[in-house]
Amino acid sequence: MSDLTHLTIAGALKGLENKDFTAKELTQAHITASEAAKDLNCYVTETYDLALAQAANSDERRAAGNAGALDGIPLAIKDLFCTKGVQTTACSHILEGFVPQYESTVTANLFADGVVMLGKANLDEFAMGSSNTTSYFGNCINPWKTSDGADRTPGGSSGGSASAVAARIAMGATGTDTGGSIRQPASFCGISGIKPTYGRCSRWGTVAFASSLDQAGCFARTVEDNALILRSMAGHDPKDSTSADRPVPDFLSALSGDVKGLKIGIPKEYRVDGMPKDIEALWEQGIEWLKDGGAEIVDVSLPHTKYALPTYYIIAPAEASSNLARYDGVRYGLRAAEHENLNEMYKKTRGEGFGDEIKRRIMIGTYVLSAGYYDAYYIKAQKVRRLISDDFTKAYEQCDVLLAPTAPSSAFVIGENEDDPVKMYLNDVFTVPASMAGLPAMSVPGGLDSQGLPLGLQIIGRAWDEETVFKVARSIERAANFTALPQTLIKKAA
């Protein structure tokens, strides 16, 4: 039965419909695989009993002819989405023991379509990071390895989600992307992941990091499976005023992969110094694939790209410092055990509850928002953000989508970049600009580097045009024909 874990979601839906297997069998196969891959530390809370109960309900619905669009499909849910009755921690000590009384809109939408939840997936604390190393519950590990066997990061912040999908212990997963947290882990783990347009999914019930940037999205092993998951997650929600009141397109009809006549922009500022040769070569290869498919390649310029990273690392911490003010020991999770008075309780709870990276960002954020520095940093950063966004608007006068690498490296060894936060922040150099502009962007696996580790290509689209992003992604997926498996799976099969 274990080969059920190698099915795509689209394939599994057919199998369920044809009665080749039941949702319970499909779920059990993924639970068994999850148990065998425990050392990857993908889940911080396992919900296997709930999953089996959901799967049994799913089988009943299907038998009665009432199956939803994703009925019986087992997914991993990033532990940033509040799940009613199931502990939600954002992988922070400060939220340990917090059991939400409500369901996030994204998970509610997925459950309404019949999704089965296997567990809450590991992430960097409060989604701040690019390596999953800041998780209070320990690092998640990438199933991909090189010959030295060293444990590599799955990327971050949605590392648990990406690793679970790559390791075939979940068929797909939810993620969130504030500055690259879906795209970079997708690239590091050799799977596909999409961050839709800001406002496409509701943020209600998702633990907030930087509210003007946070956006939910998903991971899966194929572009089509991503389209299936996103279609269920997305949609207007009156409970989130930043969620857009627009119909959700039928993303599946955009999967022809026919790029004939499309104009693909290549941003010259993304040719950064010191880019590894393998990544440059893959980018060139991607251009060739699209040309072969009949697309036209145009060189475009995004002149303010070099300001995107410094601007992001002002705006995101500023918003985080404000959002995280609510964790004070009164309402959620942790409360310091010993304190003489209220102020000391606040101080001790926050001192004990937050990790170093969170404290660093709260301090940076508080600094850039403080009187005297607000205009010089925060307001200035907002103005630069507008210029970055205008760059994209101008570029889209010449092209339909942009093609770029997803990340400046493949998965690095856990612990690398750890003592230098700026080096870690540089990981986001290719993903942050689209986040600043709120644009949809997707990573698809393009190939392996010389060490045998996966590399992704990034497609950035116009606002609300996920359909063209999916179309181009499908075309690259077809050309790349990425079938390599992570070493941990190959070992198991041997």
- For ligand GLN, the binding residues (CB under 6 A) are 127-130, 157, 177-181, 209, 316, 428
CA pair distance 79, 329, nearest whole angstrom: 20
Q: How far is the CB of 118 from ligand GLN (least distance, A)?
A: 22
In sequence order, what DSSP letters do the residues of 247-294 get, joined into one string?
Answer: PPP-GGGGTT---TT-EEEEEGGG--TT--HHHHHHHHHHHHHHHHTT
**By three-state DSSP, how is residue 172 classified?**
strand
Q: How far is the CB of 88 from ligand GLN (least distance, A)?
A: 16
Q: Choose the catalytic residue: 78, 120, 145, 471.
A: 78
Token reading at 338: 């010993």
Q: Is 78 a catalytic residue?
A: yes
Which CB atom, from 209 or from 307, has the smaller least distance to ligand GLN?
209
Q: Choose the catalytic residue: 130, 181, 232, 475.
A: 181
Q: Assess contact for 295 and 287: CB atoms under 8 A.
A: no
Q: How far is the CB of 176 from ligand GLN (least distance, A)?
A: 6
Cα-based distances in Å from 154 to 124, 129, 166, 483: 11, 12, 9, 18
CA pair distance 252, 258, nearest whole angstrom: 13
Q: How far is the CB of 207 from ligand GLN (least distance, A)?
A: 11
| 179 closest CA partner among 422, 428, 4, 394 | 428
Q: How far is the CB of 21 from ligand GLN (least distance, A)?
A: 36
Q: How far is the CB of 111 from ligand GLN (least distance, A)?
A: 24
Which CB atom, from 178 or from 475, has the smaller least distance to ligand GLN?
178
**Phi, psi of 50, deg, nearest 5:** -60, -45
Q: How far is the CB of 450 from ligand GLN (least distance, A)?
A: 25
CA pair distance 259, 451, nearest whole angstrom: 31
Which CB atom, from 132 or from 243, has the smaller least distance to ligand GLN?
132
Q: Is 157 a catalytic residue?
A: yes
Which CB atom, from 391 or from 428, has the smaller least distance to ligand GLN?
428
Which CB atom, from 177 or from 224, has the smaller least distance to ligand GLN?
177
Which CB atom, from 130 or from 475, has the smaller least distance to ligand GLN?
130
Which CB atom, from 395 or from 407, has the smaller least distance to ligand GLN?
407
**Phi, psi of 441, deg, nearest 5:** -150, 145
CA pair distance 123, 181, nearest whole angstrom: 9
Q: Where are the alpha helices (DSSP H) in 396-486?
A: 421-425, 432-437, 466-480
Cα-based distances in Å from 313 to 308, 392, 406, 454, 480: 9, 20, 19, 27, 34
Q: Is 181 a catalytic residue?
A: yes
Q: Choose the catalytic residue: 130, 157, 158, 321.
A: 157
CB-closest chain residue to ligand GLN: 181
| 186 closest CA partner among 457, 411, 443 | 443
Catalytic residues: 78, 157, 181
